[in-house]
Amino acid sequence: MTQPIFMVGARGCGKTTVGQLLALTLGYEFTDTDEMLLRSTGQSVAQIVEREGWAGFRAKESEVLKRVTGVCKVIATGGGIVLAAANRQFMQSHGTVIYLHAHADVLARRLEAFPQDDQRPSLTGRPIVEEIAEVLLARETLYQDAAHHVFDAAVSPDGVVAAIVRQLQPQCQLGCSRP
């Protein structure tokens, strides 16, 4: 498989951590859409949202998704990338979409342990556990609809990567040779 692998899921599910390990395992390049957005604009997610609102941020996020997509890549996406139907369709038709699923309490613990307030502004202004539960309720169907495969993100990153490689083994070639 040389097509890209898109990692989707809520904040704190491990898209970046698992994505980096998966890329290393497969010999793929790793890209994080939030990081690419920061590099291309010189602004954090919070700064873009403050200046342009969520709609402006989401438009920039969609542009970055298309720009970074390429063969032999693992791409960690922002948690809300699935909100746009065009993004879900793009990822499904251009690669394999992996949904890293975890319950709200697991995500909240992770976000409280490693807060990134400058990168990821609150979506609701509510306590993190309530916000995550609300966001998951609103997005769960979108994550499921976008995904080709769903994996339990509550296990260790190594365990998630092992499960992904086992699932994709028939189509996966280690040490990607780029066309």
The answer to whether position 121 is within a domain reads yes
Q: How far apart are CA 28 and CA 126, in angstroms?
A: 38
The C-alpha atoms of residue 13 and residue 106 are separated, in whole angstroms, by: 8
Structure confidence at residue 118 (pLDDT): 41
Q: What is the pLDDT of residue 158?
A: 97
| H or E element at residue 149 | strand 149-152
Question: Would you say residue 176 lies in a domain?
Answer: no
Is 54 within a domain?
yes
Instruction: Provide the domain limits for residue 114.
Output: 5-168
Only one residue has tokens 């790793």, namely: 30
Which neighbouring-strand residues pair with 29? 73
Residue 54: give its domain's CATH number.
Answer: 3.40.50.300
pTM for the model: 0.88
pLDDT at 46: 82
- Number of folded domains that form the chain: 1
Residue 17 lies in a domain: yes
Asked if the structure places residue 74 within a domain, the reply is: yes
Q: Which of 30-44, 59-73, 87-101, 161-175 has the lowest mean pLDDT?
A: 161-175
* Structural domain includes residue 179: no
In sequence order, what are the residues at sequence separation of 6 or more whose Cβ sits closer than 8 angstroms to the Cβ of residue 167? 149, 151
Average pLDDT, the chain: 88
